[in-house]
Amino acid sequence: MSQSVADVSPFRDRLTISAISQYGPIIGLVGLYVAFALLNDRFLTVGNQVNVLQQVSIIGIMAIGVTFPILCAEIDLSIAQVMEVSGLTIATLAVGARLFEGFAVPVPLAILAGLALGAAFGTVSGYVTARFGVPSFMTTLAMLFLADGFGLIVSNNRPIIGLPESITAIGGSSVFGFPSIVLVFLSLLVVSQLILSYTKFGLYIYAVGGDRTAAERMGINVMAVRMGTLVISGIFAAIAGLVTLGRLGSAVPTMGASLLLPPIAAVILGGANLFGGSGNMVGTLIGVLILGVLGNGLNLMGVDPSGRLVAQGIVLMLAVLANVVGQD
């Protein structure tokens, strides 16, 4: 009897809330796959799985970008609007429309301008946050309104059509039968994980997110790191805007609507610490896939959009609870 108790005790020690919160995302994703595979025979088909990846790629690119500030104990609430205004700017510059009527520029220059605009929004947010100690919640909220307004000015609140194929191909073509938008998403994911794992900047992000005071004492330029993460988030939002042009075939002033919370939710679902210092891009990928698989599976089962939103809310609440409790 005593031997039995001794055998069970180590198992109980390992089965803690912290362990559950650590491995919960992958367990949850596998559970969703098993459940939907049993409930619908179309779910595990190759075509449907590629469709899932296509559906989550835009959110995934934004989630990768916002992972950087979250790991650094910051947040970026402007990603959807920055994505929107960057895409609109690229489109209007490329075709010479709306605000830039008659001033069409070469496609590469239009793309660089859109990416630079995303970086500029991130730079302003990051500088105000890091230099003056204003919470990133507030600075990026201000950028949200600023980017939203500028997007309406750039587009004159009208769609931009007739985009060059060289722009739409980035997010709307296929490479050997595989969607280019998925390839962009996965490539950015790999590069970002390499940055976190094998560069000093990645190490500094974890250090600042874990203990800002200790990081300062170690000689880390905390201001530069905090600012850098928000700049990266802005650039990734701009990239998402670029691939969205290919996905839609045009630039629409409302293309960022409803895209603020899903990327942040994906990072949380992937197990990143809400208070900074822990997490990675693999977790972000898992979180993105959880959202995509859940929505896709419920759609195949005939659940209406309102029901899918309820299910996503429940899953996110459980993930947040496990995240916070697991840090105690």
List the pLDDT tens digit at each of the 328 positions of the chain. 444 444 545 545 455 555 555 778 899 999 999 999 999 999 999 999 999 999 999 999 999 999 999 999 999 999 999 999 999 999 999 999 888 888 889 999 999 999 999 999 999 999 999 999 999 999 999 999 999 999 999 999 999 999 999 999 999 999 988 999 999 999 999 999 999 999 999 999 999 999 999 999 999 999 999 999 999 999 999 999 999 999 999 999 999 988 999 999 999 999 898 888 889 999 999 999 999 999 999 999 999 989 988 988 898 888 877 776 666 5
- CB 225, CB 68: distance < 8 Å: no
Q: What is the pLDDT of residue 10?
A: 53
Residue 103, domain member (yes or no):
yes
Closest to 62 measured CA to CA, from 278, 305, 232: 232
Residue 158 belongs to domain spanning: 20-326
pTM comes to 0.93
The vertex-29 CA angle with 25 and 31, nearest 5°, equals 115
| Token pair of 258 as six digits | 């409803």
CA nearest neighbour of 238 among 145, 123, 139, 121: 121
Separation CA 239–CA 82 (nearest Å): 10
Angle at 87 between CA 193 and CA 152, to 5 degrees: 135
Could you tell me how many helices (H) and strands (E) the chain has, helices first?
14, 2
> By three-state DSSP, how is residue 251 classified?
strand
**Cα–Cα dist 229/72, whole Å:** 7
Whether 2 is in a domain gets the answer no
Provide the domain count of the chain. Answer: 1
SS3 assignment, position 72? coil
Question: Could you give the maximum distance between any two Cα atoms of the chain, in Å?
Answer: 86
Asked whether residue 34 is assigned to any structural domain, the reply reads yes
Exposure string of 167-186, with b = 16+ CB inside 10 Å and e = fewer, is: bbebbbeeeeeebbbbbbbe
**DSSP H or E run through 175:** strand 174-175
CATH code at position 131: 1.10.3470
